[in-house]
Amino acid sequence: MNGVHDLGGMDGFGPVDVEANEPVFHHPWERVVFGLVVATSAQRLRNVHRFRHAIERMDPKHYLSSSYYEHWLTATATLLVEMGIVTLAELEAGVGGCIPLSAPVRADSGISPAASVAAPRFAVGSPIVVRNLHPLGHTRCPRYVRGRRGVVTRVDGVFALPDVAAHTSQRCEQYAYNVRFDSRELWGSAADSAVAVYVDLWESYLEAS
């Protein structure tokens, strides 16, 4: 989905606020949330793809105004309610009020991947162009590389395609690649010519260029 989480290249956020000697956790509740996420993962109550998509489905205003551990909390609560492990009523009784959950899944992936991949379609040095896909569901293809040309720099092996794994119990295994993009290809001719951005992309996201 073209969500608020897909931040690469956006303007207007201002400086990066670096905290000196930052603690691992700022509040005891952040420890609790980290532990809940690990616990629900250990019990296979979620996978990382569903979890990331549950964060992406947060209300954009809530996403931008809350900390990362609040994202984790919201996504965990959302998935547990969607799976029926807890009910919204139970949660709201526990907090004594409303609880913000992520919006429902709108659609699954727009990708119809091949059942299996025997050999990688691209090699180191292959010129590629990123497909201009805009699925309503989960994807790990950032908006800022769609339609852009790059060159494969590594073939990383076979991994579950997140676009499928976030929405079904199927595992679609596919090659993933590292692709180098010239900064001017991404941001126009005025961009810094001595900058390149390297992005890891699944085969379904790419076409030969």
Partner 1 sequence: MSEHDDDHHHPAPLSPVEVRALALEELLKKKGVIQEGFIDAVVSAYENDIGPMNGARVVARAWVDPAYKARLLANGTAAIAELGFGGPEGEHLVVIENTPTVHNAVVCTLCSCYPWPVLGLPPNWYKSPPYRARMVREPRVLLREMGLDLPGSVEIRVWDSSAEIRYMVLPERPGGTEGKSEEELAALVTRDSMIGTARL
Interacting residues with partner 1 between 83 and 102 (CB under 8 A): 85-86, 90-91, 94-96, 99
Structure tokens at 178: 């590292």
The answer to the question of residue 173 lying near partner 1 (CB under 8 A) is no
The answer to the question of residue 36 lying near partner 1 (CB under 8 A) is: yes
Q: Is 118 in the site for partner 1 (CB under 8 A)?
A: no
| Other Cβ atoms closer than 10 A to 189 | 7
- The minimum distance between CB 127 and partner 1, in angstroms, equals 19
Q: Which of residues 37-66 bind partner 1 (CB under 8 A)?
A: 38-40, 43, 45, 52, 55, 64, 66
Q: How far apart are CA 182 and CA 149, in angstroms?
A: 8
Position among 121, 178, 184, 185 found at the interface with partner 1 (CB under 8 A): 178
Applying CB under 8 A, among 18, 89, 119, 190 the residue interacting with partner 1 is 18
Which tokens hold the place of 192? 């810094």
CA 36 to chain CA centroid, Å, is 20
170-188: burial string, b at 16+ Cβ within 10 Å, e else? eebbbbbbbbebbeebbbe
